[in-house]
Amino acid sequence: MLGVPYVYTESRILRARLEYLREQLGIRENDFLTFDAMRQAAQCMGRALRGKSDYGLMVFADKRFSRKDKMGKLPRWIQEYITPGNINLSIEEAAVIARKWFPLMAQSFTKEHQLGISLLTEEMLREKELLGKKFGHVLEEVD
């Protein structure tokens, strides 16, 4: 992703929406625009991953993505993989990581490697069901 995908801010429709959000809901213009840009970036990056066996390399090639106000608005599934060692890399450093990562991801995974990540056992499902009954209202709010 080259650059942060901000929308064109001179649109009359967007101006009206921003005014409504500010006046009726107390949402600042910059907060909405940043949230919308991060949503667009995540949607774009997510297109590489459509199935359990898909993999792709996501590169946020703009230092602004490392700022807390931007990173905090990315989905959790992306934030979990943005570690201090993977921020503000040179092209050469990113290429070294990619060269190591792609062959690793190309390996077939066994059922045991997938358990608890993309495959659940019957016991895990039962535990989730019990958890859902006990804390269902909390899970709904988080998801």
The string of pLDDT tens digits covering residues 25-41 is: 999 999 999 999 999 99
What is the pLDDT tens value at each position of the chain, 143 positions in all? 889 999 999 999 999 999 999 999 999 999 999 999 999 999 998 888 777 777 888 888 888 998 988 999 999 888 888 888 888 899 999 999 899 988 888 877 777 777 776 677 778 777 777 666 655 555 454 44
pTM for the full predicted model:
0.68
Amino acid identity for residue 10 in this structure? E
Tokens 């990056």 found at: 45
Torsion of CA 18, 20, 25, 27, to 10 degrees: 10
SS (H, E, C) the chain: CCCCCCCCCCCHHHHHHHHHHHHHHCCCHHHHHHHHHHHHHHHHHHCCCCCCCCCCCCCCCCHHHHCHHHHCCCCHHHHCCCCHHHCCCCHHHHHHHHHHHHHHHCCCCCHHHHECCCECCHHHHHHHHHHHHHHHHHHHHHC
Predicted confidence at residue 16, as pLDDT, reads 96
Which residues contact residue 89 at a Cβ distance below 8 angstroms, ignoring those fewer than 6 apart? 97
- Provide the CB-side half-sphere exposure for 126 (13 A, CA): 3
Residue spans per domain, the chain: 1-107, 109-143
- The confidence score (pLDDT) of residue 20 equals 97
> pLDDT at position 99, please?
92
Task: Determine the pLDDT at residue 143.
Answer: 44
Rounding to the nearest 10 degrees, give the CA dihedral for residues 51, 56, 62, 66. 70
